[in-house]
Structure 1
Amino acid sequence: MKVSADLHREFTVARIDDRLYSAFIEHMGRAIYEGIYEPGHPSADEHGFRGDVLQYVKDLKIPAIRYPGGNFVSAYDWKDGIGLKEDRPVRLDLAWRSKETNQVGINEFGIWAEKAGIDMMLAMNLGTAGIKEAREYVEYVTHPGGTTWSDLRRSHGQETPWDVNMWCLGNEMDGPWQVGHKEAKEYGRLADETGKAVRGLNPNAELIVCGSSNDAMPTYPDWERGVLEECYDTVDYISLHKYFGNSSNDTLNFFGKIEETGRYIQAIAGVIDFVQAKKRSKKKVGICFDEWNVWYHIRGQDEKNWKSWDWPEAPHLLEEDYNFEDALFVAGLLNEFIRRSDRVRIAAIAQLVNVIAPIRTLAGGAAWRTTIYWPYQMASLYGRGIALNVAVDGPTYNCEVSQDVRYMDISAVHNDGEGMVTVFIVNRHLTEEAELDMRLTGFDGATLAMHQVMQGHDLQATNMPDAPDRVAMQKGEGVGVEDGRLKGKLAPLSYHVVRLKV
């Protein structure tokens, strides 16, 4: 399979917001308890945070993290998670039919995020709560002192305020499953008024309003229009969510869902442009794709369990054993976010530990990196800078969800500060090697600096505690720069990260 491509220094998409590589963690299953927090674990620090997990998180260089939910937040009272731990109430979490002990709250999570070097993106309850609770939350978290709520934080041992600038105005409010579900106009009005209150406390706050829970919702994309017409000039981003699966065992159709996601982004960008024009606004609202991941292997089993179990604490929930096929999909989806980085400014993998996650743990035992950890890490480490358009000429295929899907999926990023170009490549073909010939225009004298590859695995291969690095990035071979062109032979079903010094 011959593939030609053109990369031009001046053919740019946008300067990527580093927050494109953010993450999400929710009070759900074992994401918090036995995930990031496990007092008594051999690696736990004085705060009870697992050191092995923290190191894997640090290695991802995550810029921001969304917390504490998710569906959990729509019935959550943030005040339950402050003060002395022994005085905190145990609550029933309606979202995941679990007991919440509240041993981790905003101050504990803030300490963990600070240790991990990650900025917090906090979600507020607009399901069972509203403007008053949101205003108190922002004051408690961010005001220096001298007021009721800020002094209460100081009395809890957190003298300095948390540096939080990103606030999510609820979660998936279009979903009938959501506690406090609302209609678009109703929610848009509440988000607008809540946003104004937050801005009264912090004029520079970045506000994220809820878009559709996915592009299969019956209200999509009219939901986005209705919400934005109420709050366009108050908010900065609208959120999108989408989860992916291959329940039909059709690998090429699975990969085609990445193209479907591109259409989803394009449609919502059009809605944003429509509302902006209707309002004669100078403001451009961005997209925050703050929940995305593969989720299907045990989804049916989990949904059956959580509807019947008797309110357990930190149950095993959504603990997907990701395989090589999933890793190739995640690599391609990250490529799509890079290509759409003019509109998608923030994105967050959902979730970070144990729950549909790149990092898994055993209680009291090992932590390990799942297969999807590696493409997420590669994009986060090397996908920062200016996204470049890549013109690709090569074979395509048709599938149920998309037409003319390229077997060769390529994105590229120019880090002008480092003098590096990184090319991310997925050969989606099931059986054919790709012979790549990419012209590098405007990058005279480019030399190969790095080639990492993930290839040669059975699509069902997974990483497990007894084989934690079965599927991982390895040093690549057979790719180089000749006469101003990137050339090489790329194995079928392979993922490549090629860095060029320019």
Structure 2
Amino acid sequence: MRVTGAIQRDFAIADIDDRLYSAFIEHMGRAIYSGIYEPGHPEADANGFRQDVMRFVRELHIPAIRYPGGNFVSAYRWEDGIGPKDQRPVRLDLAWRSKETNQVGINEFAGWAKDAGIDMMLAVNLGSRGLEEARNFMEYVNHPSGTHWSDLRRSHGVEKPYDVSMWCLGNEMDGPWQIGHKEAKEYGRLADETAKALKGLTPGAELIVCGSSNDQMPTYPEWERVVLEECYDNVHYISLHKYFGNSSRDTLNFFGKVEETGRYIGAIAGVIDYVKAKRRSKHDVFICFDEWNVWYHRREEDSRNWRTWDWPEAPALLEEDYNFEDALFVACLLNEFIRRSDRVRIACIAQLVNVIAPIRAERGGPAWRQTIYWPYQLASLHGRGRALRVALDAPTYDCEVADDVSYLDVSAVHDRQAGTVTVFAVNRHLTEDAELDLALGGFDGEARVVEHQVMAGHDLRATNGPDRPDAIRPVAGSGLGLDGSRLRGRLPALSYSMIKLAV
């Protein structure tokens, strides 16, 4: 399979917001308890946080993390998680039919995030609660001192405010399953009033309003239009969520769902532009794709289980075992976010540990990196800078979700300060290698390959696990080189490559 193409230095898409490589963690299943936090574990620090998990988290260089939910936040009382731990109430979490001990609250999580070098993106409860509770939460978190909530924080041993700038105005409020679900106009009005109050407390706050839970919702994309017409000038982002699966085991159709995601982003970008024009506004709203991942391996089983169990604490839930096929799909999806970085400024893999996550950790046992960890890490480490357009001529295929899907999926990022261009390429062909001929234009001097990492040669159903933690991971690649200003070489069938060039 022959593939030709070109990258030109001056044909840029956008400067990528580092927060494109953010994450999400929720009080759900074992994400928090026995995920990041497990007092008594051999690897736990003095505060109860697992350092084996922390090492993997730090290696991802995550810019921001969304917390505490998710569906969980729509009935959450943030006040339950502050003050002396032995006085915190145990609550029933209606979202996931389990007990919440509140042993990790905002102060514990903020300490963990600081230790990991990650900024917090906090969500407020606009389901069972509203504006007043959101305002109080922000005052506790962000106000220096001299008020009820700020002085209460100081009495809890946190003298300085956290200065959190990113705030989610609820979660999936379009979903009938959501506690406190609202109609679009009702939610848009509440979001607008809450946004005004929060901006009054923290003038530089970046506010994220709920878009559609997925692009199959019957209210999509009308939901976005109605909501934004109510609150457009007081918010900065609209959130999108989407999860992916391959229950039919049709690999090419699975990979084609990346094209479906591009249509989703494009549609909401169009809604944003429509509302901006209708309001004659100079204000820009961008997309925060703050929940995305593969989720299908245990979805049906978990759906049966959690609705019937008897309020356990931190039950095993949504603990997907990701395979090599999933890793290739995640790599393609990250490419799509890079290509759409003019509209998608923030994206959060959902979730970070145990629950549909790149990191898994056994209770009392080891932690390991799943297959999807690696493309996420390589994009986070090497995908920062300016996204460049890639003109590509490659064979295509048709599938159920899209036509003319390129067998080769490519994105490119120019780091002007470092003097590098990184090419991320996924060969989606089931059997044929790709003979790549990619021209580089507009760069001075000789280019050279300085790093090439590849994931290839694995069975699509192969996974990592506690007894084989490194079975699937990137290795040094070969067979690619510069011929003048052209990158040439072979990309194996069913492979992911990260090629960094000095330019």
TM category, shorter: over 0.9
Give 1:438's aligned residue: 438
CA separation in 1, counterparts of 2:364 and 2:317?
A: 18
For 1:31 and 1:361, the matched residues in 2 are separated by 9
Q: Which residue of 1 aligns with 2:128?
A: 128
Separation of aligned partners in 2, 1:415 and 1:332: 20
Distance in 2 separating the partners of 1:229 and 1:290: 21
Show the counterpart of 1:292.
292
Q: Which residue of 1 aligns with 2:500?
A: 499
Matches of 2:5 and 2:173 in 1, distance apart? 42
Which residue number in structure 2 is paired with residue 408 of structure 1?
408
Letter of the 1:446 partner, please give it: A
Structure 1, unaligned stretches of length 5 or more? none
* CA displacement at 1:445 relative to structure 2: 1.0
The CA distance in 1 between the partners of 2:305 and 2:158, in whole Å, is 39
Distance 1:464 1:409 in 2: 28
Question: Is the partner of 1:31 in helix, strand or coil?
Answer: coil
Number of equivalent positions: 502
Percent identity of paired positions between Structure 1 and Structure 2: 74
CA distance in 2, matches of 1:482, 1:42: 52
Q: Which AA in structure 2 matches 1:494?
A: S
1:100 Cα offset (Å): 0.2
Determine the C-alpha separation between the residues in 1 that align with 2:447 and 2:168. 42
Deviations 1:53-110 (A, max 9, x none): 0010000000000000000000000000000000000000000000000000000000
Separation (CA, whole Å) in 1 of partners of 2:446 and 2:284: 38
Match status 1:203 vs 2:203? yes
TM-aligned CA deviation for residue 43 of structure 1 = 1.0
How do 1:52-451 residues align onto structure 2 when only pairs under 5 Å count? 52-443=52-443, 444-451=445-452
Q: What is the alpha-carbon distance in structure 2 between the residues aligned to residue 377 and residue 442 of structure 1?
A: 29
The letter of the residue matching 1:431 is T
State the AA in 2 paired with 1:254.
Answer: F
Please list every run of 5 or more consecutive structure 2 residues that lacks an aligned counterpart in the other structure: none
Cα distance in 2 for residues equivalent to 1:103 and 1:158: 17
Q: Equivalent residue of 2:227, what SS?
A: helix
Deviations 1:250-297 (A, max 9, x none): 000000000000000000000000000000000110000000000000
Could you tell me which amino acid in structure 2 is paired with residue 209 of structure 1?
V
State the match for 1:25 in structure 2.
25
Equivalent residue number for residue 50 of structure 1 = 50
- The answer to whether 1:471 aligns with 2:472 is yes
Q: Secondary structure at the match of 1:233?
A: helix
Residues 290-322 of structure 1, C-alpha deviations (whole Å, 9 max, x = no match): 000000001000010000000000000000000
**Matched residue type, 2:248:** S
SS of 1:132 mapped into structure 2: helix
In the TM superposition, structure 1's runs of 4+ consecutive aligned residues that sit over 6 Å from their partners are none
The structural deviation recorded for 1:442 is 1.2
1:388-440 Cα shifts (integer Å, max 9, x gaps) = 00000010000000000000000000000111110000000000010000000
One-letter identity of the residue aligned with 1:129: R
**TM-score, scaled to structure 1:** 1.00
Q: 1:163: Cα distance to partner? A: 2.3
Q: Determine helix, strand or coil for the equivalent of 2:234.
A: coil
Taking the aligned partners of 1:284 and 1:234, their CA distance within structure 2 comes to: 10
**What RMSD in Å do the two structures reach over aligned CA positions?**
0.4
Specify the SS of the correspondent of 1:102: coil
Q: TM-score normalized by structure 2?
A: 1.00
